[in-house]
Chain A
């Protein structure tokens, strides 16, 4: 299996640990990544210049298409942006024709054959939970994780197709594989406030503050996010809301870091302490893997654990 890695504009510079941990995990899973110099996914351009947004997104799709590859994104806003552009173009022949013409000038053929998937979709669907489970050698025993699904992956669900927009389970299942507990919490499907960070600081901060509170109320040990904008938003807000933020949020972690730990990758290679707030303490939760009895693993048991 081979993908074109779409790291986005923010990850290489502000969250390199996201890329390194993803690469380590994917390598273990035998997934190869091809380096393509993509441009901006178009997300920040959409308010300003719709046509540029479409062209930027389409150029990325065309670059992947030229290599005959599908795109694997790390950022959920990149995912949403590319997917939305794909659907805009598919529904509007005029826009499509204009984009095709412009890309052709550069020698790029664009037919829209390249698919776009988020890292978690690849892990869940292309790799599969069973295979992931086979490779898990250590478990995160007793770790309570609050996961934030990410707006631009979940919605508009008809376009992104990431999961059920009202009761998603993809990330919960991925967390279950590594033996952690995905705690129910109020902010799971909600917004992190990142899109307003540079437009309305106060509002943006009050929204992420709300999420912090909800994580605190749920008593989660750590917050899991897999979107570069959310990661940066948390980093900024954690500092802005300090010292109150420390009481609410103990750490933030990316899924590939968690999976890496469970697969036996050395914690120092996963740069957990590069996250803000840091997540280095997570390696304390690592325990040898214990076989799960079928009874314990039954659906009824799982449901009752969560909701009753």
Chain B
């Protein structure tokens, strides 16, 4: 009764959660432009896109994607065999357990006559599948601990998921192990199926089961006498064997039972099998109920996404359907970290200390943003830094095992940030610096800073080489910006030699705010032309970097 109620409850929560998720795929807008499509329009567009794909002969490609990319995870085989093996172990193990164990009575029994969970191959299969899942989980833990970058992003949710699967699996194995050793189970089964009453026969059957099946009885209840065992085995043959494969075939549980042997009697007395049974099925039900709200959702959203990707062309599809697809992508991420491990700029987090640079974390940030909780402006500034540190190399999109088009989402993220007042940081810093320079120019006093700032320009190969400038203007003559401009003095504020000279005078704001600095092409013609080895281009680079640094300091 309790089992049924809790199962129904879990199913209800799961169904409600999935319905909520599907609704969110039709309502959440990843890109600001997606807002214009109401849920009905999105649903219609999505269904018609899929319908068109199915009827134009793309069903084969969809099924292929489901099997090869979904079930067999061929996408991860190319970059990590460990990850691939882990997924395949867990997928096969988990699906097998669901079909042949959890749904054994409902599904397997109707498909295979003579199904009985304690008979082979089911008894053996159950342990085999369970061990596969455990091996998969072990591989995942190994990867999370050893792969560079993966450890850094492993979140509490990831750990909880691993702990959760382990609890389900271990409680199952322990339950099976305790059942093997349990005298109480033996007695109740015996009463129900054999119904022996003669003490001699009972003694014999117990002895045989203690010897052959590993049941642990209280001392004195069994014997190892050959004659007794022979009688017991005969009785077992008549009454039990039809429904019982040798307990040793549940190899993992039997091994566990052997380990627990000294405690078996005590545990049996404490009704441990009963307790474990509750732990096992309740943990499964909790998992079922939480599926739509955790990363386990990728079991549903992942295959959906992979099949949709195989069916439609993202570029030409109906934008309303694309809005749905993007929302689905947010829920497809399993936080496996593949994108982050291979990210071209992941190395910068050693120096910038901003986790939102990493694709997996940036995706989480985007997810919180579109769900309406923007957080404070500092957090938005942090997300922006992540968004703009990307080099658009598409590795994350190419490698995502679930086929999430991350680069498309990054474009949406930048647009969202722009709407929140967080545009391209380069432009912002440039404008800020130019404004400061303008103010400084328009005031009557000259703001000469001390040598501290000049000393700060030390990253270029030869610190402070600007002091070697004797204003010969070779740099200015070489500069393509000066060449392109009709009145360079007006459009660039300062010419290259003037920037160098300003630095010599300590005019920090004027130098940093010159439009020349912010429009520099970094073609190095000025630096090459300098007869006195002033590192002109490198210094212009450095001025921009110092302004960016000062600006990020203001935000933090």
Take A49-B352, A151-B524, A156-B524 as given contacts and tell me if A56 and B548 are in contact as well, using a CB distance cutoff of 8 Å: no
* Pair A45/B345 contact, Cβ less than 8 Å: yes
The smallest beta-carbon distance between A226 and chain B, in angstroms, is 16
Which single residue of chain B is at the shortest CB-CB distance from A166? B528
With a cutoff of 8 Å between Cβ atoms, the chain A residues found around residue B524 in the complex are 151-152, 154-156
Binds B, one of A113-121, A131-139, A187-195, A298-306: A187-195
A12→B347 CA distance, assembly (Å): 20
Chain B 369-395 interface mask (CB, 8 Å, partner A; 1/0) = 000000000000000000011011110
Take A196-B519, A207-B521 as given contacts and tell me if A44 and B424 are in contact as well, using a CB distance cutoff of 8 Å: no
With a cutoff of 8 Å between Cβ atoms, the chain B residues found around residue A157 in the complex are 528
Take A91-B461, A157-B528 as given contacts and tell me if A49 and B523 are in contact as well, using a CB distance cutoff of 8 Å: no
Q: Which A residues from 35 to 49 make CB contacts under 8 A with B?
A: 37, 39-40, 44-49
The smallest beta-carbon distance between B231 and chain A, in angstroms, is 66
* Pair B351/A55 contact, Cβ less than 8 Å: yes
The smallest beta-carbon distance between A295 and chain B, in angstroms, is 37
Q: Kindly identify which residue among A13, A45, A91, A199 contacts B394, using a CB–CB cutoff of 8 Å.
A: A13
* Pair B525/A155 contact, Cβ less than 8 Å: yes
Most chain A CB within 10 A, of B388, B398, B484, is at: B484
With a cutoff of 8 Å between Cβ atoms, the chain B residues found around residue A9 in the complex are 344, 391-393
Which single residue of chain A is at the shortest CB-CB distance from B343? A39
Tell me if B443 counts as interface (CB < 8 A to partner A).
Answer: no
Tell me if A246 counts as interface (CB < 8 A to partner B).
Answer: no
Tell me if B487 counts as interface (CB < 8 A to partner A).
Answer: no
* Pair B523/A52 contact, Cβ less than 8 Å: no
Tell me if B23 counts as interface (CB < 8 A to partner A).
Answer: no
The smallest beta-carbon distance between A235 and chain B, in angstroms, is 14
Q: Kindly identify which residue among B393, B535, B538 contacts A40, using a CB–CB cutoff of 8 Å.
A: B393
* Pair A13/B393 contact, Cβ less than 8 Å: yes
A75→B59 CA distance, assembly (Å): 41
Take A199-B519, A207-B521, A210-B484 as given contacts and tell me if A47 and B391 are in contact as well, using a CB distance cutoff of 8 Å: no
A20→B393 CA distance, assembly (Å): 17
Tell me if B142 counts as interface (CB < 8 A to partner A).
Answer: no
* Pair B521/A193 contact, Cβ less than 8 Å: yes
Tell me if B522 counts as interface (CB < 8 A to partner A).
Answer: yes
Tell me if B427 counts as interface (CB < 8 A to partner A).
Answer: yes
* Pair A49/B351 contact, Cβ less than 8 Å: yes
Q: Which A residues from 104 to 120 make CB contacts under 8 A with B?
A: 105-106
With a cutoff of 8 Å between Cβ atoms, the chain B residues found around residue A88 in the complex are 459, 461
* Pair A191/B544 contact, Cβ less than 8 Å: no
A200→B517 CA distance, assembly (Å): 12
Take A9-B393, A87-B461, A203-B484 as given contacts and tell me if A39 and B541 are in contact as well, using a CB distance cutoff of 8 Å: no
Which single residue of chain A is at the shortest CB-CB distance from B518? A199
Tell me if B364 counts as interface (CB < 8 A to partner A).
Answer: no
* Pair B351/A200 contact, Cβ less than 8 Å: no
* Pair B347/A151 contact, Cβ less than 8 Å: no
A178→B542 CA distance, assembly (Å): 42
The smallest beta-carbon distance between A21 and chain B, in angstroms, is 20
Tell me if B470 counts as interface (CB < 8 A to partner A).
Answer: no
Q: Kindly identify which residue among A10, A39, A156, A196 contacts B527, using a CB–CB cutoff of 8 Å.
A: A156
A40→B392 CA distance, assembly (Å): 10
* Pair A37/B342 contact, Cβ less than 8 Å: yes
With a cutoff of 8 Å between Cβ atoms, the chain B residues found around residue A126 in the complex are none
Q: Kindly identify which residue among B345, B459, B522, B535 contacts A56, using a CB–CB cutoff of 8 Å.
A: B345
* Pair B545/A207 contact, Cβ less than 8 Å: no
The smallest beta-carbon distance between A8 and chain B, in angstroms, is 8
Tell me if A165 counts as interface (CB < 8 A to partner B).
Answer: yes
Which single residue of chain B is at the shortest CB-CB distance from A84? B538
* Pair B545/A46 contact, Cβ less than 8 Å: yes
Complex A-B, nearest 10 residue pairs according to Cβ-Cβ distance, in ascending order: A155-B524, A9-B393, A191-B523, A52-B348, A151-B523, A13-B394, A9-B391, A40-B344, A52-B351, A155-B528
Can you list 22 A-B contacts with CB-CB less than 8 angstroms, sorted by A residue number? A9-B391, A13-B398, A39-B343, A49-B549, A50-B459, A52-B348, A52-B352, A55-B351, A56-B347, A91-B462, A92-B459, A102-B350, A102-B351, A151-B522, A155-B525, A155-B527, A156-B527, A156-B528, A156-B537, A199-B426, A203-B484, A207-B484
- Given A49-B549, A195-B520, A199-B518, output 18 extra A-B contacts at Cβ < 8 Å: A9-B393, A10-B393, A39-B345, A47-B426, A48-B548, A52-B347, A55-B347, A55-B350, A55-B351, A56-B348, A88-B461, A102-B351, A151-B523, A154-B524, A191-B480, A191-B521, A191-B523, A199-B430
